[in-house]
């Protein structure tokens, strides 16, 4: 009976940690959204054709509608990688390597799209994702200890 109770508590703690790690992805999404918004907003204003108000509307519309598949794919990939990587090895010592593997895996398509389509927004999103992973690292260390 004691081992069953111990297993349940340990399992519950593991699930709780995993959920906290998954919820820490708000850092990545926020940093990427802000950096992409600023980049798109500046590129809208640069030609001088649009007004400030039109540039705001175009930027919001572009990030929400045009990049919807990007956001859905990004969130699904990072959640799956978090579940896979952080449930296999729960040691805080390997956190930096796990975050680097996530960044490398998810940024690979960004590099391809940058080369293929010549859209600099993919470089911005990859660098913002790297910054998000760096900032998220501190929060994950706190969760795992």
Q: What is the pLDDT of residues 6-58, one digit of tens each?
A: 445 467 877 888 899 999 999 999 999 999 999 999 998 887 788 889 999 98
Residue-wise pLDDT tens digits, 76-122:
999 999 999 988 777 788 889 999 999 999 999 999 999 999 889 99
pTM for the structure as a whole: 0.85
Per-residue pLDDT at 91: 78
Would you list the domain boundaries of the chain?
2-144
How far apart are the C-alpha atoms of 123 and 128, rounded to whole Å? 8
DSSP one-letter code for 44: H
Per-residue pLDDT at 4: 52
How far apart are the C-alpha atoms of 4 and 18, rounded to whole Å? 21
Whole-angstrom Cα Rg for the chain: 19
């Amino acid at each position: 009976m004691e081992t069953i109770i111990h297993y349940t508590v340990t399992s519950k703690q593991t699930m709780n940690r995993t959920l906290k790690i998954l919820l820490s992805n708000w850092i990545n999404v926020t940093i990427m959204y802000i950096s992409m918004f600023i980049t798109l907003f500046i590129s809208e204003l640069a030609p001088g054709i649009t007004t400030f108000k039109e540039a705001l509307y175009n930027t919001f519309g572009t990030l929400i509608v045009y990049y919807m598949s990007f956001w859905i794919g990004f969130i699904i990939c990072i959640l799956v990688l978090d579940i896979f990587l952080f449930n296999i090895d729960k040691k805080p010592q390997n956190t930096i390597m796990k975050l680097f593997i996530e960044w490398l895996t998810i940024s690979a398509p960004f590099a391809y799209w940058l080369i293929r389509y010549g859209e600099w927004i993919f470089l911005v999103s990859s660098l913002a994702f790297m910054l998000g992973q760096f900032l998220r690292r501190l929060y994950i260390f706190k969760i795992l200890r």
